[in-house]
Amino acid sequence: MRGSIRGLWFAVAVLATVAVPGGAVSGGTAESVLLADMDGGGGGDMDIDLAVRQVTVAPVRAHAGDVVHVDVVVENKADGTRTTIAELLVNGKAVASQFFTWGMSPGERLYRLSFDWDTRGVPPGEYRIGAQAFVWEDSSPFDNRLDVTQPVVVAPAAGGFPGGEAAGGSATETDPRFGKSRVGG
């Protein structure tokens, strides 16, 4: 019985040593302890706001096995600097991703990214293309994703397209709140 009481006191002492900040034990004031990256990326009150401004896809009529190229423009609308993942979405699912670093230069606000979607093994049909750049601390996450309205049509490798159209074409979706002159379109 005596050994179990000693073990209990030992456990309490260890927990008190680990769980209570040193200043609180000596009568000082306890402060919040932030773990790595809990401060929003290096600046307590920093406003972080990324927006996917434009997505261009080509071709919009492809045969199974073709590579569909997607260009994305992301804008840093606020402060901060970070490395974030941008994703290429097909029917809402990420099929490709890449890291990009933003906010290193105050004058640099637009970031141009490129993705390739290999359609080998993709069944014929219509596919919705989009892009997103997500940051947990974003002050306006509603504009972190942009989808192209026109679907990509994938036809069988030796097949034709509806209406007899030829392979090719492109489609661009631009956020209506963003000036086309800023993205070069």
Residue 3 has pLDDT above 70, yes or no: no
Q: Going from the N-terminus, what domains does the chain have, and what CATH number goes with each?
A: 50-176 (2.60.40.10)
| Global pTM value | 0.72
Please give the average per-residue pLDDT across 124-147, as a whole number: 92
Element (H, E) at 70: strand 67-76
Residue 25 has pLDDT above 50, yes or no: no
Question: What is the per-residue pLDDT for 58?
Answer: 98
Residue 83 has pLDDT above 80, yes or no: yes
The mean of the pLDDT values for the chain is 80
Question: How far is the C-alpha of 152 from the C-alpha of 170, rounded, in Å?
Answer: 9
Query: 138 falls in which pLDDT band (50, 70, 90)?
Result: confident
Question: What is the per-residue pLDDT for 20?
Answer: 41
Question: What is the per-residue pLDDT for 172?
Answer: 97
More confident call, 74 vs 178: 74
CB atoms within 10 A of CB 9: 10
Question: What is the per-residue pLDDT for 6?
Answer: 58
Of the candidates 119, 171, 169, 125, the residue with the CA atom closest to the CA atom of residue 148: 171
The pairing of strands 82-90 and 110-118 is unpaired
Give the sheet arrangement for strand 129-133, strand by strand.
Answer: 93-102, 82-90, 129-133, 145-147
Name the β-bridge partners of 168: 61
State phi, psi for 161 to the nearest 5 degrees: -110, 155
Question: How far is the C-alpha of 80 from the C-alpha of 98, rounded, in Å?
Answer: 19
pLDDT digits (tens, 9 = 90+) for 32-46: 333 334 444 444 567
Of the candidates 72, 40, 86, the residue with the CA atom closest to the CA atom of residue 173: 72
More confident call, 138 vs 131: 131
Question: What is the per-residue pLDDT for 47?
Answer: 80
Report the range of poorest mean pLDDT among 32-46, 76-90, 118-132, 140-154. Answer: 32-46
Contact 47, 78 (CB under 8 A): yes
